């Protein structure tokens, strides 16, 4: 008979799996508790959560979501496994990749995005994409560019008149 703690943890994993846009499986062996807490704090900044869980509970949660997904991911559920559930695939990949670069003990195994398994190369590519805030900033710059160009064009004749009068003044005073 399963104990209450495992039942509760399975329910929370299943809910997190359903609510997440991206799920990244990692091997955390060798990370200290302090380092894991730092990673949890970094993940929370991006509305993600990093949890250490049992592989059997992950298998059950994946089976509830999709049998094919569970079969594909079964080979990755060996050894100590921790999972990052991300609200945004790009920020989740950035957080883990940045942390893994600073801490050699953390190994990224694989991930799930849109109910499809993604490879380590896909996660690396996602981590190099600009963040939502950066894309929003670029969009705002593009939207402001025509207005700024219009202002420059409207003020150009006045500027040219001032430059011409200044040149005339310099020529006459010399």
Q: Tell me, yes or no, whether 104 and 151 share the same domain.
A: no
pLDDT at residue 163, as a whole number: 86
Q: Tell me, yes or no, whether 172 and 115 share the same domain.
A: no
Q: Tell me, yes or no, whether 125 and 135 share the same domain.
A: no
Q: Tell me, yes or no, whether 123 and 141 share the same domain.
A: no
pLDDT digits (tens, 9 = 90+) for 19-32: 888 899 999 888 88
Residue pair 77/55 in contact by the 8 Å Cβ criterion: yes
Q: Tell me, yes or no, whether 109 and 164 share the same domain.
A: no
- At which residue do the structure tokens 């992950």 appear? 58
Domain count, the chain: 2
* CATH number for 28: 3.30.70.1730
Q: Tell me, yes or no, whether 135 and 87 share the same domain.
A: no
pLDDT at residue 88, as a whole number: 84
Q: Tell me, yes or no, whether 23 and 99 share the same domain.
A: yes
Q: What is the DSSP string of 40-64?
A: HHHHHHTT-EEEEE-HHHHHHHHHH
Nearest to 14 by CA among 81, 88, 65, 53: 65
pLDDT digits (tens, 9 = 90+) for 75-112: 888 888 899 998 888 888 888 999 988 888 888 898 88
pLDDT digits (tens, 9 = 90+) for 36-71: 999 899 889 888 899 998 888 888 888 888 888 888
Q: Which is more confident, 115 or 112?
A: 112
Q: Tell me, yes or no, whether 86 and 168 share the same domain.
A: no
- What residue numbers bound the domain in which 146 lies? 131-174
pLDDT at residue 158, as a whole number: 83
79: left (phi over 0), alpha (psi -120 to 50) or beta: left
pLDDT at residue 140, as a whole number: 92
Q: Tell me, yes or no, whether 108 and 29 share the same domain.
A: yes
Q: Tell me, yes or no, whether 47 and 75 share the same domain.
A: yes
**For 170-174, what is the mean pLDDT?**
84
pLDDT at residue 85, as a whole number: 92
Q: Tell me, yes or no, whether 32 and 83 share the same domain.
A: yes
pLDDT digits (tens, 9 = 90+) for 151-166: 888 888 888 888 888 8
Q: Tell me, yes or no, whether 67 and 99 share the same domain.
A: yes
Residue 10 exposure: Cα atoms within 13 Å on the Cβ side: 16
Cα 36 to chain centroid, rounded: 18
Q: Is the pLDDT of residue 1 over 80?
A: no
Q: Can you give the pTM of this predicted structure?
A: 0.74
């Amino acid at each position: 008979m399963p104990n209450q703690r495992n039942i509760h943890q399975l329910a929370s994993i299943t809910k997190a799996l359903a609510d997440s846009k991206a799920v990244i499986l990692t091997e955390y062996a060798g990370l200290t508790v302090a380092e894991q807490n730092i990673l949890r704090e970094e993940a929370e900044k991006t509305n993600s959560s990093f949890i250490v869980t049992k592989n059997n509970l992950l298998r059950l949660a994946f089976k509830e979501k999709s049998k094919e997904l569970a079969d594909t991911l079964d080979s990755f559920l060996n050894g100590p496994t921790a999972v990052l559930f991300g609200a945004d695939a790009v920020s989740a990949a950035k957080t883990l990749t940045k942390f893994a670069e600073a801490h050699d003990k953390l190994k990224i195994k694989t991930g799930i995005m849109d109910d499809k398994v993604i490879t380590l190369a896909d996660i690396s590519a996602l981590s190099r994409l600009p963040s939502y805030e950066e894309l929003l900033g670029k969009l705002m710059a593009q939207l402001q560019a025509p207005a700024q160009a219009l202002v420059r064009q409207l003020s150009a004749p006045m500027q040219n008149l001032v430059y011409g009068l200044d040149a005339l003044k310099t020529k006459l005073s010399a």
